[in-house]
Structure 1
Amino acid sequence: FLCRAFAYDRVTKRCHWLSFNSLTNGVRKKQDHAFDLYEKKDYVRNCIIGKGADYKGTISVTKSGIQCQAWNSMIPHEHSFLPSSYRGKDLRENYCRNPRGEEGGPWCFTTSPEMRHEVCDIPLCSEVECMTCNGESYRGPMDHTETGKECQRWDLQRPHKHKFRPERYPDKGFDDNYCRNPDGKLRPWCYTLDPNTPWEFCAIKTCEESVMNSTEAAAETSTCIQGQGEGYRGTVSTIWSGIQCQRWDSQFPHQHNITPENFKCKDLRENYCRNPDGSESPWCFTTDPNIRIGYCSQIPKCDVSNEQDCYRGNGKTYMGNLSKTRFGLTCSTWDKNIEDLRRHIQIFREPDVSKLKKNYCRNPDDDFHGPWCYTDDPLVPWDYCPISRCEYLICFWHCQLCYTAIPCASTKHLRVVNGIPTQTNEGWVVSLTYRNKHICGGTLIKEEWVLTARQCFPSRYKDLKDYKAWLGVHNIKGKGEEKHKQVRNISQLVYGPAGSDLVLLKLSR
Structure 2
Amino acid sequence: MKVHKVVLLLGLFLFTGFLRGQTESTDVLEAYIKTDGAWIVKLPKVQYSVSTVEECAVKCNKETSFTCRSFLYIEKDQDCVTLPANSKTDQILRRMSAVLYEKKEYLLECVNGIGMDYRGTKSKTKSGKTCQRWEGTFPHTPNITPKTHPKADLESNFCRNPDGDKGGPWCYTTDPEKRWEHCNIQDCTEECIQCSGENYRGKISTTMSGFTCQRWDSQKPHNHGYIPSALPDKYLEENYCRNPDGEPRPWCFTTSPSKRWESCSIPRCTTEPPTIVPELTCASGEGSSYRGTIAVTVSGKTCQDWASQSPQKHSRTSENYPCKGLDKNYCRNPDNERSPWCYTTDPDTRWEYCSVPSCGDQPRPEEPVIPEGEACYEGDGTSYRGAMSETISGKKCQFWTSMEPHRHSKTPQNFPKADLRRNLCRNPDGDRAPWCYTTDPTVRWEYCNIERCDNKPSSREPPTNPSVAAASPSISSSPSPEKDCKVGNGASYRGPTSTTITGVTCQEWSSMTPHQHASFTPETHPDKGLESNQCRNPDSDVNGPWCYTTDRNKKWDYCQIPDCDSLKCGQPSVKPKRCFGRIVGGCISKPHSWPWQISLRTRTKIHFCGGTLIDAQWVLTAAHCLERSESPSAYKIFLGVHTERANEASKQERDVTKIIKGPAGTDIALLKLDRPALLTDKVLPACLPEKDYIVPSNTECYVTGWGETQGTGGEGFLKETGFPVIENKVCNRASFLNGRVKEHEMCAGNIEGGTDSCQGDSGGPLVCYAQSTFVLQGVTSWGLGCANAMKPGVYTRVSKFIDWIERNMKEN
Give the TM-score, by structure 1 length: 0.46
Higher RCO, 1 or 2 (CA under 8 Å, sep at least 6)? 2
Give the TM-score, by structure 2 length: 0.31
